[in-house]
Structure 1
């Protein structure tokens, strides 16, 4: 779309897309977003794939954007396709991802979820750290969750538990870094403790992954699969500005307290294109195991017009590095062998005509389907893990100008004035 672009015309008053983008201080894609929103006009040049733009229009828009930025209404990117958010938490680059500059896969291989969370929050490694939940918040969260119907989903349980924790904390409106970190260190274990137990798990010194296992599986915790669960939590702690993370940052931009910011993230997690995707992959694997082959299962998914769950990720050209790390660990769990083989069958079958690779949802599905967990278990793992990342982003946002996450709507309704109906 942007190649073979013309330069300015003979009058010198028309600009190429690149020149317009440079003057506006935005990406070329944002220039076209301005056109689609009616803020710029463009002229296609015969014989090329590019467009030219009126220089006076570009200069006027640049002045308008500068005024809006000075007035607190956001800069040029705020008015374009998407706002750019400065963050020092996670970098995704060249099919790898990094937490504060450290390879996330290597970090998760050597440290517990709690240690990775502390690194994400503070940039300091606290080895051996453990999160403990206050009795009052646990009791309030358990009462609230216990009042819900049995069919309640994970995101709803966690949202209710989060609200219950908030109302027991009179200091929740303190947005200082120390206060927010204190909230994070107690909220996460409280969320785990509030979930209905399936097997006894409480013992002194138990890791968060060990405690969570008893809320997910009917089987006793064994060292190898619990290690996979702990690694999954650490790998899922953050993934740049995913949809739920953006919701958290919007809430934090409005100076919502951390419990409310986490609640905003939990509201987005429930979507089947985000946190609930692992449950779809779980059911797919069970279907493949039941029928003995991925072929007919994938054929039915495609015939119904559905994407095959657990495959592909727009941020990675090859295999999701989180999936690769978890598959390597699951290969050492004997009970996971059938589900792991089914996952590889799904990947091979779907990749016959397109370069599709496994993502972390498929790897989580292998864990949940092979370890006596329900399909919704992966949603619980995702939400608990990501709570730490949401707190890291909320901390960053509390340090920014308030209400900066405020895009403007492009009105497309009937022009006023209209008569009263």
Structure 2
């Protein structure tokens, strides 16, 4: 039976008092939402809402931009019938969350029901990327904790503790997490984990540098070195003219940290001058966001000042500050002696030699793979 048929059957055959997730008052969800400044004026989506009473309370609070999503049309119809004319004030969406393609972004994303039903790594990653792209400010997630049930409505679920929850949403910073017992309508107890997050503003600061999202005002400094053949000769892509550089920067400004499998390029800014002196890139692994690949480019005008090494150490410190983060990888052209020396000096280990692994300037070229684990970073 498909997921949708399963849930249509549940809502067609069972009353609210016959399902475990029913809450007369969704107290914790309301507390988290009401703690957000000016929440009444925010766009709010309740994902996997079923026929939850949360929308009733939000309407009574005066919230005016509410979307309710569920995979079951039966659940949506029950909620609309309960609300009566108030239902006209809500946007209703019948969709599997993995098929959802929002036409708008949301200030607040709430989910007490859908996320923990995702058990496949690819599905979890897809959900996190969806949230990362379409949530502007706040994320509120409730799941069964590691002390909670292992199934719900006969379906397998994924249990979460606080570190695991935080590592699932690296594009956000946790504001508050708590566990609580939910009393079901039929007298059993289920332990939940709730976490409230704020959107991460990407910024890494070191002694002399700030690593931040790229801006259109970076263009002039960016062209200076990205049009230099000597700077790009070990990187597997060609020089950029103004049009290519402008398009590239525009693409990067719309990207957010936290999307699995996506390269994001960041500016390296000199804190004293406020000018761009290079760029770096981070790509979280498509299958496990506890692993990342990185790359660093410093302008020829600013080399031999230790900026590349300072950038590398700052990125390493940032990534290993993330919950449960495990491993950093960098691929380097075997001819790039300066980068090899820097990686080894910073504690990276050479793990492999890829023979003729990429095509560059008319030739197949070798690469070394260097890596560092969290345990490596702890070593003196």
TM-score, structure 2 as length reference? 0.23
Does 1 or 2 have the higher relative contact order (CA < 8 Å, sep 6+)? 1
Structure with the bigger percentage of helix: 1
TM-score, structure 1 as length reference? 0.21
Structure with the bigger percentage of strand: 2
